[in-house]
Structure 1
Amino acid sequence: MSLDLFAPIAAAYTAGTGKDISTFRYEDAPLSSPVIVISGVILYLVAVHGGAYLMRDRKPFKLNGLFRIHNLLLTIISGALLLVFIPEIIPLLANGPHYALCSAKAWNSRLEFLYYINYLIKWYELLDTAFLVLKKKNLEFLHYFHHSMTMALCFSQLHGRTTVSWVPITLNLGVHVAMYYYYYRAAGGHQMWWKKYLTTLQITQFIIDLACVYYCVAKRITFHYLPHLSTGDCEGGGWFAGYFGAAILTSYLLLFIHFYFKTYKRPAAAVNKKKQ
């Protein structure tokens, strides 16, 4: 008898709402409006730059204890949610890759609820930036663009009901287990040697994401506009969600590759040049 890791979540949902989780629809839950998401992104960006401006003549806050708790909490949450996701995805894969990535039947209320929880976590992760602002750490475009757009991206895929959502979400959760654990240890004063490999892992994540997302978008385009090249449709998701997801993930890949070369390759090349 297999262990149903989703069962405690379903039981808690029923206890809290008096409804069966099979009736869950994200549209009825908090923060489920596009207006709220757009407003949240705008307010976040204003707070980021406004906070940095207000902190310019102030001493940085230490906050190491709170920062460690924050990162440890996100490590645990990311790992726990990933463990719940895995048994929900296996039945999809049993029907084949195309079904798991493209079939509208591969979207169900259990996965929708997990996608919604992941979306809520993206709101909480915006606190990463608050810590950086208050500690007067360097705020790169990559950081606040990635945080704000990931929250918007998760909502767009939830709203568009894209079947492929499980791919970037589960990969992201796995990366976040390593990433937030890294920050938890680093904030405690530990010298972590594997930051470079963490960035490599993030880049690899986006390459896999894009291979799956491009497949879905290409299947849909050829089915509707190039039928002579088509071998079937990818009906699991809306047009906007597909294009938006492909665009944002592509921008992430390019930005992280640029970050990798700027952070690791250029300094190493400069050191080697001095040694010559």
Structure 2
Amino acid sequence: MDVPVAAAPSIFPVNFYEHFAQGYQALVGKPAASFQYIRGETPLSTNLESFAIMATYFVVIFGGQAVMKNFNPIRANLLFQIHNFLLTVLSAGLLVLFVEQIYPILSQHGVFYSVCNSGAWTQPLELLYYLNYLTKYYELIDTVFLVLRKKKLEFLHYYHHSLTMLLCFTQLNGRTAVSYVPITLNLAVHVLMYYYYWRASCGVKIWWKKYLTIFQITQFIIDLGFVYFCAYTYFTATYFPHMPNMGSCTGTESAAIFGCALLSSYLLLFIQFFLKTYTKKPVVAKKDN
């Protein structure tokens, strides 16, 4: 039986969600409390929409690469700075709102409830999950800047950008309560990452890029610890109850399997990127014949 989460004081001196709700109503014309994600009715909630945009993304970036072969690089530095500044602020804002909503759930009911109980999928969190999902579409513009600047498109970049959008889509549809773990960690990474790109584009030398990649790898390790646990306890409780488990876990099976598989691939690819980028092979002197 789900236990409703009682109202609790904000973890911050100011209740940011109340201010967010006021801004939401002014912008959308409806109370934030009235939002409900309904597949097939809410914008960008169907497979057709998500796959169509993903296909368009690939056509634009690879078609753009072909077109840009005949042109000089387009720096668009001011637009690039604005883009990264907006994503820094947006990521930080969403991170604060998520932490504010998750804190009372954790403090009142504990970690297991927060990642496995359907009562942890609250209406305010559903709205935040949806808004976070929408930001993944905006983040696709990152690749457009690379194309305009005639930078090499790494497989990791467009694989990660396109499939993270799909990951958020599947977990939103699957209503996986554990979603807040990878999302909050990812938002923390994005605050630093987009801040790095913003400041670097302003000509500031940033020394901690290597440590940002280490943070990303650490993020996926933590993510996998949580999602593997949730998947394990769900599948054992459902199909192998004789095995040790902590009970069932909310969320669909397809969302759980896809999340585990994709996050595993991210970890392997980011480790490969780190080794390729930051591990220098020793130079061997040639011997004279």
Q: Please report the TM-score for the alignment, with normalisation by the length of structure 1.
A: 0.94
* 1:197 to 2:208 alignment: no
Match of 2:282 among 264, 270, 273: 270
Structure 1 residue 221, shift from structure 2 partner: 1.1
* CA contact 2:177–2:251 (8 Å) conserved in 1: yes
Which residue in the other structure is 2:42 paired with?
29
Which residue in the other structure is 1:209 paired with?
223
Output aligned runs, 1:2-17, within 5 Å: 2=10, 3-17=14-28
* CA contact 2:233–2:249 (8 Å) conserved in 1: no
Which residue in the other structure is 2:51 paired with?
38
Output aligned runs, 1:104-119, within 5 Å: 104-119=118-133
CA displacement, residues 107-164 of structure 1 (integer Å, 9 cap, x when unaligned): 0110000011111111000000000000101100000000000111111111110000
Which of the two has greater helix per residue? 1
* CA contact 2:238–2:248 (8 Å) conserved in 1: no
The alpha-carbon distance between structure 1 residues 153 and 274, as it changes in their structure 2 partners (threshold 3 A), is farther
Which residue in the other structure is 1:77 paired with?
90
CA displacement, residues 25-48 of structure 1 (integer Å, 9 cap, x when unaligned): 122432121210111111111211
Structure 1 residue 87, shift from structure 2 partner: 1.3
Amino acid at match of 2:272: H
Segments of structure 1 that go 5 or more residues without pairing to the other structure are none
Structure 1 residue 9, shift from structure 2 partner: 2.3
* 1:135 to 2:134 alignment: no
Structure 1 residue 21, shift from structure 2 partner: 2.8
- Residue 234 of structure 1 aligns to a residue whose secondary structure is coil
Which residue in the other structure is 1:240 paired with?
254
- Residue 171 of structure 1 aligns to a residue whose secondary structure is helix
Q: How many angstroms apart in 2 are the aligned matches of 1:18 and 1:194? A: 42
* CA contact 1:161–1:236 (8 Å) conserved in 2: yes
Structure 1 residue 167, shift from structure 2 partner: 0.4
Match of 1:92 among 96, 105, 117: 105
Structure 1 residue 93, shift from structure 2 partner: 1.1
- Residue 164 of structure 2 aligns to a residue whose secondary structure is helix
Structure 1 residue 274, shift from structure 2 partner: 5.5
- Residue 270 of structure 1 aligns to a residue whose secondary structure is coil
- Residue 259 of structure 1 aligns to a residue whose secondary structure is helix
Q: How many angstroms apart in 2 are the aligned matches of 1:17 and 1:190? A: 38
Which residue in the other structure is 2:177 paired with?
163
- Residue 59 of structure 1 aligns to a residue whose secondary structure is coil
Percent identity over the alignment is 51
* CA contact 1:26–1:116 (8 Å) conserved in 2: yes
Amino acid at match of 1:12: G
Q: How many angstroms apart in 2 are the aligned matches of 1:65 and 1:155? A: 31
Amino acid at match of 1:5: F
How many residues are matched?
Answer: 273
Structure 1 residue 91, shift from structure 2 partner: 1.5
* CA contact 2:171–2:255 (8 Å) conserved in 1: yes
Segments of structure 2 that go 5 or more residues without pairing to the other structure are 1-8
CA displacement, residues 205-242 of structure 1 (integer Å, 9 cap, x when unaligned): 00000100000000111112211114333332111111
* 1:224 to 2:238 alignment: yes
Q: Please report the TM-score for the alignment, with normalisation by the length of structure 2.
A: 0.90
Structure 1 residue 61, shift from structure 2 partner: 0.4
| Mean Cα deviation higher: 50-59 or 196-205 | 50-59
Q: How many angstroms apart in 1 are the aligned matches of 2:60 and 2:24? A: 33
Q: How many angstroms apart in 2 are the aligned matches of 1:199 and 1:62? A: 25
Q: How many angstroms apart in 2 are the aligned matches of 1:141 and 1:198? A: 19
Q: How many angstroms apart in 1 are the aligned matches of 2:89 and 2:29? A: 28
Which residue in the other structure is 2:272 paired with?
258
- Residue 29 of structure 1 aligns to a residue whose secondary structure is coil
- Residue 132 of structure 1 aligns to a residue whose secondary structure is helix
